[in-house]
Structure 1
Amino acid sequence: MAMPRKLKSMNLFNDGTGYLGVCKSVTLPTLARKMEAYRGGGMNGTAKADLGLSDDGLQMEWKTGGLEVQVLRQFGAVSASGVMLRFAGSYQQDDTGEYTDVEIVVRGRHETIDLGDAAPGEDTEQSMTTALTYYKLTVAGEVIVEIDVLNFIEIINGVDMLAEQRRAIGI
């Protein structure tokens, strides 16, 4: 019987600035696909056709303690991939003691910045939602998923899922 890998510690970097002790939490991007049900003659049920990434897009939500002016300066970034965030997590499996490093690098721009409640003598928190155009998940040094929406790239477990489509349309 095994125990799951649990996050023991993490850090978040915003364009290279480390938020150790400042970042309170990160809601990592959800990977989702747009699927459409299809049922043709001779089929006793539906099969979902994969139409690419979900229309909801990729996003990352994160919170910091206090006020982070760097984030406010990034609001309204002109480039859709203007802000780079890097999550570094240390996961440990408690039955073996083994650590696994997880890195998620994303690029995008802040969709929302919530400065939270302002009350003297109380804890303050700033919440951000960053809409993403780039996502790369690396586990123990191995790239598992890389998605670059603007450059029509989707690599899953080392397989370039869009290579044939790029070839077919001449890019």
Structure 2
Amino acid sequence: MEGYTPGALQARFPYMFPLEGEERRRAYTFYRGWMQPLALACEDIDKLLGMDKRAFYWTRLREKVGAPSLGYRMEGQARVATNIHRPTDVVRHAGESAERHAPVALAINERILQLEVELRSRCIVCGALSEICNDRGPWASLCPAHRAEDDGPDASMGSVWESARTHEEGRK
């Protein structure tokens, strides 16, 4: 699992990443520090789905105000709970009755909620423990070492964000 790149993850689970071209570029942004937990979650989801993949796929893997913004679709199944992410807290809100959903759908929903909570405290660059804050510019989930790399509020953390993104040109 260690060392997954976006391309390796998408090759391992092509059904989870069906979007192409511009649509893919807008939907999937991979951060180096979040790759291992994401890869583990994809492995877990694949096992939960078993042979029936239920047309599961990610519709969004992004960051918003320092927190993960994850979306998925699964044939015939809807999310029954969601985490509402604000820069300083996570609040769980129940949606539809869980009784209307298959146990596998509930288990996948729970695994994705766990991933969202875990990523909130992981540095997007290195995966170390972090805290979401905006003390040096935009909201970001960065460990103290990577927060210190910022050149100050006028730099808008450009170099840190670029170093966090994973690219297929040999970078992890």
More helix by share: 2
TM-score of the alignment, normalized to the shorter chain, above 0.5: no
Higher relative contact order (CA 8 A, sep 6+): 2
Give TM-score, length-normalised by structure 2. 0.27
More strand by share: 1
Give TM-score, length-normalised by structure 1. 0.27
